[in-house]
Amino acid sequence: MPKHRLLTDDEKAVALSERLSVRIPVAIELTGISRTKIYALIKNGQLPIVKVGAATLIPMEGLRQFIASHQR
């Protein structure tokens, strides 16, 4: 059986960039937007979510679109 190894920081970055969605704490870390603001954006429809059971997922494309639409 192959042994599992820890991912390097570069490998983690690539893996994260290829994800389809992230949970709210990861979205907070990626964007620097506060938890309260993330929930407000979800509530008013500015950030899309996907519910899977109790998990709330934010599609990466939704995060990218939100950030791109708020550039100055």
Give the model confidence (pLDDT) of 51-62 as tens digits.
999 999 999 999
- In whole angstroms, what is the distance from residue 41 CA to residue 31 CA? 13
58 strand-pairing partners: 22
- Predicted model pTM: 0.76
What pLDDT is attached to residue 18?
80
39, two tokens: 């929930």
- In whole angstroms, what is the distance from residue 55 CA to residue 45 CA? 18
What pLDDT is attached to residue 38?
97
Q: How many CB atoms lie within 10 A of CB 31?
A: 17
Q: What is the pLDDT of residues 21-62, one digit of tens each?
A: 999 999 999 999 999 999 999 999 999 999 999 999 999 999
End-to-end CA distance of the chain: 52
Where residue 16 falls among pLDDT bands split at 50, 70, 90? low
